[in-house]
Amino acid sequence: MCGIIGYTGRQNAIPKITAGLSVLEYRGYDSAGLAAAGNGRITTIKCCGRVKDLEEKLRQTEEIITTCAIGHTRWATHGGVTDRNAHPHTVGYVTLVHNGIIENEKEWRERLTLDGYHFSSETDTEVAAALLNRAYQKTKDPLQAIYGVLEILRGSYAFAMIFADRTDEIYAVRQDSPLLIAQGEDGCYLASDLTALVSYASTYCVPDEGVVVRLNQDGIFLCYKDGTQKEPIYQQSGMQHAAAERGGYDTFMKKEICEQPQALRAALNGREAEGLPDFSINALPTDFFDNVHRIHIVACGSAMHAGLLGARLLERDTGIPTTIFIASEYRYHMPPKEEGTLLIAISQSGETADTLAALRAAKARGIPVLAIVNAENTAIAREAAHVLYTHAGPEIAVATTKGYCTQVALLWMISLFLSNRRKTIAQDTIKERLAFLKESAPKAISAVIARESELSHIAERLDGHDRLFYIGRGRDYALAAEGSLKLKEISYVHSEAYAAGELKHGTISLIEPGTPVIAFCTEDALAEKMLSNVREVASRGASVTVLCKASLSSLFLQSAVVFPLDCENDETAVFAMMTAMQLIAYETARRRGCDVDKPRNLAKSVTVE
């Protein structure tokens, strides 16, 4: 959600800013803009649309050469998607970009208006710029002005700020929003996330919340409120440059679907001892789960669906009552306090504000938190007592695929680990299941990817339809929930995932001749009941497609078009099914000409509640 970038150094800043914005664009793509500082003035170029539209505007403008600039790619929160609301915002001496939300903006907007200030945008960011300019006019000291304004602002922010009379300096500060700084060979950088920095530096630092950072020709300094300053302590980045590139694929989403076999292996790699799950490499004490009697899982979107599936596995295999909560609901309706509760927070980006808020609410109650996160050193990873990284590599497409895949894999590992500790499953079975996860599941994913053209025919069956249903029972329902979300996210077809047995209790009234229904069935024990549900909709004219275990195909052939999955165990069934549903969504979106990587209205990580 909103990407910010800044550079000051010895090179021309503009290509660095536009390249950085292209990388950060997945955080929001309603509008883009940059401000260049130089020759005693600030030049701002911004527009609605994508970074390529900004680049086009730059081409039509007199070339700007500068060694200091800031940039922004927006996901609108306050104010519509207009050129005026695009960042950067300038008030007097101050030009700034912002990721986050100023919660008391209304109050300050009214007060500044009474003082005679005329706002030119509807954004909360302009309020911050106006307050900062007012403070700077009085003090002419950026640090004093920034610290003064931070005292009166409420909300979340990462700001990058430049001042008209200090054109080689950038100031930055964060609160509950991501911000990283890095010293490159040719200058100093700041960005919302690592992907924009990896080309320039192999180390980075996450400044503490509320500490103002100054970047100039002398380097990067953490400037404290008491006037002292320190050099940042940098840490090595684990990210490879090439991992954030498309690498010959048409889209990042396709690339990331195809990367799932290796992502799955990377997620499990090193977390095994003598054929059994082992998290000692993550410094997770062996007895960490021993006093756990209840598990709460919090997450949003696809991560929540991974939790839904994980909760079923955990309860089935370990007997520990496990409940999945939508993160944005959790802290307003926390279940009664119970000793022995563990919270598992799941987030690909590690930044999602709703999940972070739920994590903090749990911590405030004394509930220990284990995080499952992909992006390294992000807020959720830092604030949890323990973190298990999914090691999926950078995920750029807004709709998650390999992120979700590895979250499911880790939840499965945790479930096997607990089953071993509690002796709820025989050790040999645990070893066998872990081997299925490590060896058979990646192969099952590749086998489905190789059948892409068949899945394209299934997508073709959705042509001309603007609503459909996904149905499943048990873990297939959890998979259907994710399949349905994937389709909605990228193809804009309205679909609803239903527990197959529940459809008849009302929603079946929406089935008309031709309504597409996609049914999942990988659980033998539920197959006959699924068949009844498929027949119920087929007899009312629905056009049913069944994705099922190959051994169950014959059951459904009379009522549906069947896509059989070669999967002989639970592990391969789940990962094969998730790949198939991702490819159905992908093919449907492509057939409709949708921008698969950057679906409308969405952002990869949502850092506001």
- Report the C-alpha gap between 281 and 323 in whole angstroms: 27
Of positions 300, 309, 392, 434, contacts ligand G6P by CB under 6 A: 300
Interaction between residue 302 and ligand G6P (CB under 6 A): yes
Q: Hey, how many other C-beta atoms are within 10 angstroms of the C-beta on 144?
A: 15
Question: Are the C-beta atoms of residues 517 and 469 closer than 8 Å to each other?
Answer: yes
Separation between Cα atoms, residue 54 and residue 60, nearest integer Å: 10
> Which range in 100-108, 290-298, 330-338, 347-355 contacts ligand G6P by CB under 6 A?
347-355
Interface with ligand G6P, residue 303, by CB under 6 A: yes
Burial class (CB in 10 A: 0-12, 13-18, 19+), 243: middle
Nearer to ligand G6P, 214 or 254 (CB): 254
Nearest to ligand G6P of 25, 126 (CB atom): 25
In three-state secondary structure terms, 545 is strand
Question: Of 183, 347, 401, 588, which lies in the binding site for ligand G6P, with binding defined by CB under 6 A?
Answer: 347
Q: How many CA atoms lie less than 13 Å away from 435 in the CB half-sphere?
A: 8
Q: Does 326 bind ligand G6P (CB under 6 A)?
A: no
Q: Nearest distance from residue 397's CB to ligand G6P, in Å?
A: 9
Q: How far is the CB of 50 from ligand G6P (least distance, A)?
A: 17
Cβ atoms within 10 Å, residue 571: 22
How far is the C-alpha of 231 from the C-alpha of 494, rounded, in Å?
A: 51
Check if 567 is active-site: no
Catalytic residue (choose from 46, 255, 549, 604):
604
Within 438-477, the residues that bind ligand G6P by CB under 6 A are: none
Tell whether residue 579 is a contact of ligand G6P (CB under 6 A). no
What letter represents residue 302's amino acid? Answer: S
Q: Is 48 in the site for ligand G6P (CB under 6 A)?
A: no
328 binds ligand G6P (CB under 6 A): no
- Smallest distance from ligand G6P to CB 401, Å: 10
Taking CB under 6 A as the rule, does residue 148 contact ligand G6P? Answer: no
Q: Is 301 in the site for ligand G6P (CB under 6 A)?
A: yes
Residue of the chain from 37, 112, 606, 608 that contacts ligand G6P (CB under 6 A): 606
8 vs 374 by CB, closer to ligand G6P: 374
Nearest-approach distance from CB 120 to ligand G6P, in angstroms: 30
Cis amide prior to 88 (ω within 30 degrees):
yes
Closest CA to 261 of 489, 450, 431, 482: 450
Q: Can you tell me the distance from the alpha carbon of 122 to that of 77, in angstroms, rounded to the nearest whole number?
A: 10
Q: Is 2 a catalytic residue?
A: yes
Compare residues 325 and 556 and give the one whose CB is closer to ligand G6P: 325
Task: Please work out the total of residues on this chain that contact ligand G6P, with binding judged by CB under 6 A.
Answer: 15
Least distance (Å) from ligand G6P to the CB of residue 24? 15
* 352 near ligand G6P, rule: CB under 6 A: yes
Beta bridge partners of 325: 298
537 is a site residue for ligand G6P (CB under 6 A)? no
Q: Binding mask 195-214 vs ligand G6P (x if CB under 6 A, - otherwise)?
A: --------------------
CA 459 vs CA 85, 87, 291, 447: distances in Å = 38, 39, 47, 18
3-state secondary structure of 121: coil
Minimum distance, C-beta of residue 176 to ligand G6P, in the bound complex (Å): 15
Given 2, 258, 567, 594, the catalytic residue: 2
Q: Does 355 bind ligand G6P (CB under 6 A)?
A: yes
Q: Which residue has the tokens 């999967």?
A: 567
What is the DSSP code string of 145-191? HHHHHHHH--EEEEEEEEETTEEEEEEEEEEBS--EEEEETTEEEEE
Which residue from 18, 66, 125, 400 is in contact with ligand G6P, where contact means CB under 6 A?
A: 400
Which candidate, 17, 171, 24, 2, places its Cα nearest to that of 79? Answer: 2
> How many whole angstroms separate alpha carbon 195 and alpha carbon 571?
32
End-to-end CA distance of the chain: 11
Of 8-16, 199-207, 396-404, 472-480, the segment contacting ligand G6P by CB under 6 A is 396-404
Least distance between ligand G6P and beta carbon 356 (Å): 9
Write out 54-79 in H/E/C secondary structure.
HHHHHHCCCCCCCCEEEEEEECCCCC
Give yes or no for residue 54 binding ligand G6P (CB under 6 A): no
- Residues serving a catalytic function are 2, 604
Point out which residues bind ligand G6P (CB under 6 A).
300-303, 347-349, 352, 355, 398-400, 602, 605-606
